[in-house]
């Protein structure tokens, strides 16, 4: 944990930011993916919340085509002591599909494609049959969903809301811009690691917070070791398969960059790999044949 931030190392700075969040916001939720960054963030938050006698919520959007190890780690995170509500989302959300010219998007957890699902739907999840969000429509974009969820959450719980996100600025220029340019955003009490959220052309009383924005990959794994945190074992398998800690990514497998790593599934989780390969193309073919009343036999 060598990196310094205003005479503090990044771990101390992150803990201070989390204390600020819990001190100033009536309701707090953490957006997690099962990846290393958001995992460390929410476990640090649990430690801080425990000391401050605070509770928080968690939002996890389950994209269906994910590593078994990721879901196992999510189940571990659900056991954190200070969680009030864990929103495990398995709704039919539209995602980028860069592996097919015919199907530029695919919809996870789509009922019509249930026979092709990569895994069974978790029993405790929020799905199309028990959805509490009146605004949700099948095929909603991922980016739109997270904004609408923030708006719904603020209306449900009232007061100022902090949505904490485990992004690190050294991973992309866009992430750096999100944090760095305060003249283009509204911050909470001039903390550069906060951004007031906007729905359309109107700001709402929700602030995105980035408590580990200045961390490096080494800091993440340093915290896991130093604090004996739980982690997604898929990273251990990635490392054994030749990926350095700087190359490891955990995203839905059909994105523009992620498609190049589809074979990674074969090396890490062979049983998942075959299902991931079949998930989008067959679904598209069957829909095409049905819509065109084809007599072809598949």
77 contacts 32 by C-beta, under 8 angstroms: yes
**pLDDT, position 5:** 46
Among 78-82, 85-89, 203-207, 287-291, the least confident range: 287-291
Q: Is 5 among the domain residues? A: no
The pLDDT of residue 102: 67
- What pTM, to 2 d.p., does this model score? 0.87
Which tens digits make up the pLDDT trace of 221-278?
999 999 999 999 988 988 888 878 887 877 666 765 555 556 677 778 878 877 877 7
Range of the domain at 119: 10-291
Whether residue 18 lies inside any domain: the answer is yes
pLDDT score for 240: 85
Region 90-119: mean pLDDT is 86
pLDDT of amino acid 289: 41
Domain count, the chain: 1
Is the residue at 197 inside a domain?
yes
Let me know if residue 217 belongs to a domain. Answer: yes
- Whether 297 is covered by a domain: the verdict is no
Give the pLDDT score at 245: 84
For residue 23, what is the domain's CATH number?
A: 3.40.50.620
Q: What is the pLDDT of residues 148-200, one digit of tens each?
A: 999 999 999 999 999 999 999 876 656 566 666 656 789 999 999 999 999 98
Positive/negative CA dihedral, 38, 39, 41, 46: positive
Rounded to whole angstroms, how far apart are CA atoms 187 and 232?
A: 32
Torsions phi, psi for 231 (to 5 deg)? -150, 160
At residue 137, the pLDDT reads 96
Domain membership flag for residue 152: yes
Q: Is residue 212 part of a domain?
A: yes
Q: Maximum Cα–Cα distance for the chain, whole Å?
A: 71
Looking at the domain assignment, is residue 46 inside a domain? yes
Distance CA 34, CA 185 (A): 28
């Amino acid at each position: 944990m060598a990196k310094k931030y205003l005479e503090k190392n990044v771990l101390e700075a992150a803990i201070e930011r989390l204390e600020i969040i819990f001190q100033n916001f009536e309701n707090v939720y953490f957006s997690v993916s099962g990846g290393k960054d958001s995992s460390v963030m929410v476990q640090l938050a649990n430690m801080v919340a425990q000391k401050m006698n605070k509770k928080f919520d968690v939002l996890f959007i389950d994209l269906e085509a994910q590593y078994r190890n990721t879901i196992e780690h999510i189940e571990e995170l659900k056991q954190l002591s200070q969680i009030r509500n864990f929103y495990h989302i398995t709704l039919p959300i539209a995602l980028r599909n860069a592996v097919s010219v015919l199907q530029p998007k695919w919809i996870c957890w789509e009922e019509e494609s249930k026979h092709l699902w990569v895994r069974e739907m978790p029993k405790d999840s929020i799905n199309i049959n028990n959805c509490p969000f009146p605004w949700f429509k099948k095929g909603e974009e991922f980016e739109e969903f997270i904004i609408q969820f923030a708006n719904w959450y603020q209306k449900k719980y009232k007061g100022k809301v902090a949505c904490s996100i485990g992004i690190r600025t050294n991973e992309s220029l866009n992430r750096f811009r999100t944090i760095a340019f305060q003249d283009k955003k509204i911050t909470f009490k001039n903390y550069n690691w906060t951004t007031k959220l906007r729905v359309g052309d109107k700001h709402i009383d929700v602030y995105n917070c980035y408590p580990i924005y200045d961390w490096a990959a080494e800091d993440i794994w340093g915290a896991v070791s130093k604090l004996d945190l739980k982690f997604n074992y898929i990273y251990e398998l990635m490392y054994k398969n030749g990926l350095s800690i700087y190359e490891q990514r955990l995203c839905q497998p059909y994105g523009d960059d992620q498609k190049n790593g589809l074979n990674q599934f074969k090396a890490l989780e062979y049983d998942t790999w075959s299902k991931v390969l079949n998930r989008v193309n067959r679904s598209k073919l069957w829909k095409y044949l049905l819509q065109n009343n084809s007599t072809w036999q598949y």
